């Protein structure tokens, strides 16, 4: 069994990062230009890392599946980015941000990484502003902040509802500058299908050129994965259509451990599913819950009439409405954390009170707020969100309550990394949502952007030099090594196998099926029996896919169905690992709710004695069960306590 050691310096938490930086080995400029680094993914983490590594003088190759780096899905983040600047003089500091993040993660994150993240956060804002990110400002010309996700301070920086977009454009322009200077070479429209190891070290990748279908070999002294999350395992999620787990999954199969795969975040305020052919769920900012009240009818008769559109929600009198969050959580009401709000909505819908034609929606009602504050005030706060809702649903939320339902939004799990963000494969790094490290079992709002940029701009550039300082005598890696030959062979064979499948169902058919299994049995709440059932269903699905998939088009051409097929195959395998992880974790924490482990009044019941660990899975080959390795979590600065929102 692998011994997992984070390897943070053994000094007090607050001194770890400066101590690390003081002691880490550097590479001199002459040697940097002899070293090649591959960065996969160009979202906030990937673009910022590639730009910074290029600026430092390394030879960088950046890969993305999109047509340009600027489209990576970081772009869709709406709310904001946290930083412990304390510009509002409201008592914020590094420790508090660290504390909130560890607590919000339900005590399943690694303290040392989180503390570093919090301490770096102010620098991120400085850099982004210098790059020209147009953050919201006060009339005095200084930066504005807002509060977010139930914290007690205002530490969130934002650019209207498009913070992710603006930060990504900042990182993309920094990357573009390095591309222009020749420091970074960009490979767009490429899928990374395998990671190549030579003598146990990550030395390159196998890419498929999505336009020509060509299989390419790329070699380097180190490989950085910044490939985002795996929410698309649920088919319907707020992720982009192309978001996939494939590069991380191939790393897992080459020996990198995959940690906490069952930790997925379900966002409570998404636009509900309308029908079978729906391809995507759209998230609406959590801020809506500041003024909206969530309810379903008290009587099932009313539910029936609503579903048949015989009555409108506004026809239901106050006395016949069940404001279930206010009822169950009088102290926090509609502002309970994401996981709690999501589960409560599912509970009502499962009990038969869901209001849309699909029965999977609850109301988010602004009529009280409009009566109290006036339509203008509500329009000023949420105008763009209301407009977006109306565009998608064709209902006017000023008049009739919005319908919302939870949707998969973010995955806290990912490749296991140490303090240096290196996976268990030497020379293979994972940054951003792709790794598991900072958010524990639940991510706080406005923390994902912070982590992606911290990793890319400020952490990886230091930690990778420690590794590369040992590689300065390694000549450029040849792509004709037998390891590359073998990888190309296995990739080509798998592609040919997919191409030759002679079934009759489209890839989407299987993806939808997988999504339903995962959502039903490994979604917002899970139980032993359901998870066991999911395991066998996934096994069946695997066999069905192999026997019955149909992929038109050829290998050597632009073939989106082929791309999807490869990704879905990986998702099916990942789904199985998620279920295993959920089975193993016999407790409820953050986004992972096991029905067997709840308090008498239905709240998550954590088990710190037995489960205060990171569950990292090791691939053991086709047909063998993966092995679980535990990294015990030590809490020195924050003492775990039961979360309560009553």
Partner 1 sequence: MIFTLKIWRQKDAADKGGLVTYNVDDISPDSSFFEMLDQLNQHLIAQGVDPVSFDHDCREGICGTCSLYINGRPHGPLKGTTTCQLHMRSFRNGETIFVEPWRCGAFPVIKDLIVDRSAFDRIIQAGGYVSVNSGGIPDANTIPVPKSDSDASFDAAACIGCGACVASCPNASAMLFVSAKVSHLALLPQGRIEAARRVQNMVATMDSLGFGNCSNAYACEAECPKEISVTNIARMNREFLAAKLFAEKEKQISVSL
Q: Which residues are catalytic?
A: 338
Contacting residues for 393 by C-beta, under 8 A, at least 6 apart: 271, 274, 402, 403
Distance of CA 427 to the CA centre of its chain: 23
Task: Return the bridge partners of 364, or none.
Answer: 294, 402
223 within 8 A of 471, measured Cβ to Cβ: no
Name the residue nearer to partner 1 (CB basis): 132 or 476. 132
- Name the one range near partner 1 by CB under 8 A: 23-31, 279-287, 328-336, 342-350: 279-287
Binding positions for partner 1, 322-361, rule CB under 8 A: none
Least distance in angstroms from the C-beta of 72 to partner 1: 8
Cα–Cα distances (Å) from 42 to 113, 187, 405, 472, 582, in that order, read 22, 10, 30, 26, 30
Least distance in angstroms from the C-beta of 473 to partner 1: 26
- Residue 646 interacting with partner 1 (CB under 8 A): no
Binding positions for partner 1, 467-486, rule CB under 8 A: none
Binding positions for partner 1, 537-556, rule CB under 8 A: 550, 552-553
- Name the one range near partner 1 by CB under 8 A: 124-132, 253-261, 489-497, 518-526: 124-132
- Residue 76 interacting with partner 1 (CB under 8 A): yes
Contacting residues for 381 by C-beta, under 8 A, at least 6 apart: 287, 290, 291
Q: What is the CA radius of gyration of the chain?
A: 24
- Residue 277 interacting with partner 1 (CB under 8 A): yes
Name the residue nearer to partner 1 (CB basis): 390 or 608. 390
CA-CA-CA-CA torsion sign (37, 38, 44, 45): negative
Least distance in angstroms from the C-beta of 462 to partner 1: 10
Name the residue nearer to partner 1 (CB basis): 126 or 368. 126
- Residue 253 interacting with partner 1 (CB under 8 A): no
Question: Which one among 127, 430, 459, 574 touches partner 1, defined by CB under 8 A?
Answer: 127
Question: Which one among 34, 73, 103, 346 touches partner 1, defined by CB under 8 A?
Answer: 73
Binding positions for partner 1, 382-421, rule CB under 8 A: 388, 391-394
The two structure tokens encoding residue 356: 């849309």
Placement of tokens 């899970």 in the chain: 526
Question: Which one among 42, 48, 112, 479 touches partner 1, defined by CB under 8 A?
Answer: 48
Cα–Cα distances (Å) from 355 to 33, 212, 359, 360, in that order, read 61, 47, 5, 7
- Residue 237 interacting with partner 1 (CB under 8 A): no
Least distance in angstroms from the C-beta of 27 to partner 1: 16
Question: For residue 427, with 0-12 CB atoms within 10 Å meaning exposed, 13-18 middle and 19 or more buried, which class applies?
Answer: buried
The two structure tokens encoding residue 297: 């009818």
Distance of CA 172 to the CA centre of its chain: 20
- Please name which of 216, 168, 172 lies closest in space to residue 190, comparing C-alpha atoms: 216
Cα–Cα distances (Å) from 106 to 148, 154, 246, 431, 469, in that order, read 17, 21, 28, 21, 37
Binding positions for partner 1, 577-616, rule CB under 8 A: none
Question: Which one among 7, 12, 132, 383 touches partner 1, defined by CB under 8 A?
Answer: 132
In the shown chain, the binding pattern of residues 134 to 153 toward partner 1, with x for contact by CB under 8 A and - for none, equals xxxxxxxxxx----------
Name the residue nearer to partner 1 (CB basis): 17 or 457. 457
Least distance in angstroms from the C-beta of 59 to partner 1: 17
- Name the one range near partner 1 by CB under 8 A: 22-30, 234-242, 309-317, 420-428: 234-242
Name the residue nearer to partner 1 (CB basis): 137 or 327. 137
- Please name which of 281, 193, 185 lies closest in space to residue 519, comparing C-alpha atoms: 281
Name the residue nearer to partner 1 (CB basis): 347 or 561. 561
Least distance in angstroms from the C-beta of 140 to partner 1: 7
607 within 8 A of 247, measured Cβ to Cβ: no
Distance CA 74, CA 109 (A): 22
Task: Return the bridge partners of 191, or none.
Answer: 208
Using CB under 8 A as the binding criterion, the count of chain residues that bind partner 1 stands at 82
Binding positions for partner 1, 149-188, rule CB under 8 A: 159-160, 162, 165-166, 169, 172-174, 176-177, 179-180, 186, 188
Count of all residues that appear for the chain in the document = 646
- Residue 91 interacting with partner 1 (CB under 8 A): no
Least distance in angstroms from the C-beta of 468 to partner 1: 18
Least distance in angstroms from the C-beta of 230 to partner 1: 16
Question: Which one among 31, 93, 209, 278 touches partner 1, defined by CB under 8 A?
Answer: 278
- Residue 622 interacting with partner 1 (CB under 8 A): no
- Residue 129 interacting with partner 1 (CB under 8 A): yes
Binding positions for partner 1, 187-206, rule CB under 8 A: 188
125 within 8 A of 80, measured Cβ to Cβ: no
522 within 8 A of 577, measured Cβ to Cβ: no
In the shown chain, the binding pattern of residues 451 to 470 toward partner 1, with x for contact by CB under 8 A and - for none, equals ------xx--x---------
Cα–Cα distances (Å) from 646 to 36, 249, 642, in that order, read 53, 40, 12
Task: Return the bridge partners of 190, or none.
Answer: 209
82 within 8 A of 621, measured Cβ to Cβ: no
426 within 8 A of 200, measured Cβ to Cβ: yes
Distance CA 276, CA 283 (A): 19
148 within 8 A of 371, measured Cβ to Cβ: no
Binding positions for partner 1, 51-70, rule CB under 8 A: 51-52, 55, 66-70
Question: Which one among 146, 185, 280, 381 touches partner 1, defined by CB under 8 A?
Answer: 280
- Residue 560 interacting with partner 1 (CB under 8 A): yes
Distance CA 362, CA 331 (A): 21
- Please name which of 253, 249, 254, 244 lies closest in space to residue 65, comparing C-alpha atoms: 244
Question: Which one among 561, 602, 613, 637 touches partner 1, defined by CB under 8 A?
Answer: 561
Name the residue nearer to partner 1 (CB basis): 130 or 622. 130
């Amino acid at each position: 069994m692998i011994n997992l050691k984070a390897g943070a310096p053994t000094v007090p938490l607050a001194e770890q990062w400066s101590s690390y930086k003081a002691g880490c080995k550097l590479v001199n400029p002459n040697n940097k230009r002899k070293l090649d680094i591959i960065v996969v993914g160009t979202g906030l983490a990937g673009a910022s890392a590639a730009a910074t590594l290029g600026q430092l003088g390394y030879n960088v190759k950046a890969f993305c599946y999109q047509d340009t780096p600027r489209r990576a899905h970081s772009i869709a983040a709406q709310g904001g980015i946290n930083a412990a600047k304390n510009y509002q003089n409201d008592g914020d500091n590094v420790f508090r941000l660290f504390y909130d993040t560890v607590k919000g993660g339900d005590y399943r994150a690694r303290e040392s990484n989180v503390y570093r993240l919090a301490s770096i956060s102010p620098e991120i804002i400085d850099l982004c502003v210098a790059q020209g990110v147009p953050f919201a400002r006060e009339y005095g010309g200084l930066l504005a902040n807002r509060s977010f996700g139930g914290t007690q301070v205002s530490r969130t920086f934002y650019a209207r509802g498009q913070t992710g977009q603006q930060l990504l454009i900042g990182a993309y322009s920094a990357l573009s500058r390095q591309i222009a200077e020749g420091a970074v070479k960009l490979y767009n429209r490429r899928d990374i299908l395998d990671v190549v190891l030579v003598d146990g070290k990550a030395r390159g990748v196998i890419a498929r050129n999505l336009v020509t279908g060509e299989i390419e070999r790329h070699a380097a002294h180190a490989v950085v994965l910044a490939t985002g999350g795996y929410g698309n395992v649920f088919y319907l999620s707020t992720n982009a259509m192309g978001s996939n787990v494939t590069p991380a999954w191939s790393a897992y199969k080459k020996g990198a451990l995959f940690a906490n795969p069952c930790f997925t975040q379900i966002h409570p305020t998404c636009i509900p599913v309308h029908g079978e052919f729906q391809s995507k769920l759209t998230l609406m900012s959590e801020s809506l819950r500041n003024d909206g009240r969530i309810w379903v009818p008290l009587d099932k008769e009313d539910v029936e009439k609503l579903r048949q559109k015989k009555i409108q929600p506004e026809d239901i009198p106050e006395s016949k409405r069940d404001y279930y969050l206010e009822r169950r959580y009088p102290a926090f009401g509609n502002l309970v954390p994401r996981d709690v709000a999501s589960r409560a909505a599912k509970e009502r819908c499962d009990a038969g009170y869901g209001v849309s034609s699909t029965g999977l929606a609850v109301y988010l009602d602004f009529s009280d707020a409009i009566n109290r504050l006036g339509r203008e005030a509500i329009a000023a706060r949420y105008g763009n969100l209301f407009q977006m809702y109306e565009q998608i649903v064709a209902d006017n939320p000023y008049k009739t309550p919005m319908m919302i339902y939870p949707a998969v939004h973010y995955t806290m799990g990912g490749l296991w990394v140490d303090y240096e963000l290196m996976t268990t494969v030497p020379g293979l790094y994972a940054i951003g949502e792709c790794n598991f490290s900072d958010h524990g079992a639940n991510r706080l709002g406005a923390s994902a952007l912070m982590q992606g940029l911290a990793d890319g701009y400020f952490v990886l550039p230091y930690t990778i030099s420690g590794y590369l300082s040992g590689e300065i005598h390694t000549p450029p890696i040849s792509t004709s090594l037998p390891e590359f030959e073998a990888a190309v062979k296995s990739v080509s064979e798998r592609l040919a196998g997919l191409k030759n499948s002679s079934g009759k169902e489209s890839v989407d058919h299987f993806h939808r099926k997988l999504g339903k299994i995962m959502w039903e049995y490994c979604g917002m709440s899970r139980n032993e029996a359901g998870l066991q059932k999911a395991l066998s269903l996934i096994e069946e699905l695997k066999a069905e896919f192999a026997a019955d998939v149909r992929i038109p088009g050829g290998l050597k051409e632009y073939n989106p169905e082929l791309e999807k097929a490869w990704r879905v195959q990986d998702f099916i395998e990942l789904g199985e690992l998620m279920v295993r992880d959920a089975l193993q974790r016999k407790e409820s924490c953050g986004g992972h709710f096991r029905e067997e482990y709840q308090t008498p009044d239905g709240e998550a019941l954590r088990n710190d004695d037995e489960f205060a660990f990171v569950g990292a899975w090791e691939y053991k080959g086709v047909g063998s069960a993966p092995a679980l390795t535990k990294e015990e979590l030590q809490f020195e600065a924050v003492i775990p306590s039961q979360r309560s929102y009553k």
